[in-house]
Amino acid sequence: MSKKNHNSAPWMCGQCKHGFRSQDAVRMHINDAHPTIRNCGIYHRIEQVAGPEYEPSLGERAVDAELALAMGEPTEDAWLLGE
Ligand SMILES: [Zn+2]
């Protein structure tokens, strides 16, 4: 079971799923790394919880699964989306 570190990167690039500390950092990253992507999404992890014991909630896993499916990546949590 892989543990993702969501704590220090509440903002995420919708293109490569890289995490960033601020929305501006994501915008700068998109301009820099994905200049040809016009409507690259910027995602904000709302359920940000600090602490080493943090586990993603089902809702957060569903968001991750939705992202993975949208990007054509395999996910173990597709059932959360009713698929
Ligand atoms: Zn990116």
Residue 28 lies in a domain: yes
Residues 18-76: pLDDT tens digits? 999 998 999 999 999 998 877 778 888 765 555 556 667 778 888 888 898 888 988 88
Residue with the bigger pLDDT between 9 and 18: it is: 18
Residue 61 lies in a domain: yes
Say how many Å lie between the CA of residue 13 and the centre of ligand 1: 5
Residue 2 lies in a domain: no
d(CA 68, CA 74): 6
Beta bridge partners of residue 19, listed in sequence order = 12
Say how many Å lie between the CA of residue 8 and the centre of ligand 1: 16
* Domain total of the chain: 2
Residue 3 lies in a domain: no
If asked whether residues 31 and 59 sit together in one domain, one would say no
If asked whether residues 59 and 32 sit together in one domain, one would say no
* Strand 11-13 versus strand 42-44 pairing type: antiparallel
Residue 1 lies in a domain: no
> Domain of 20?
8-45
* Strand 11-13 versus strand 19-20 pairing type: antiparallel
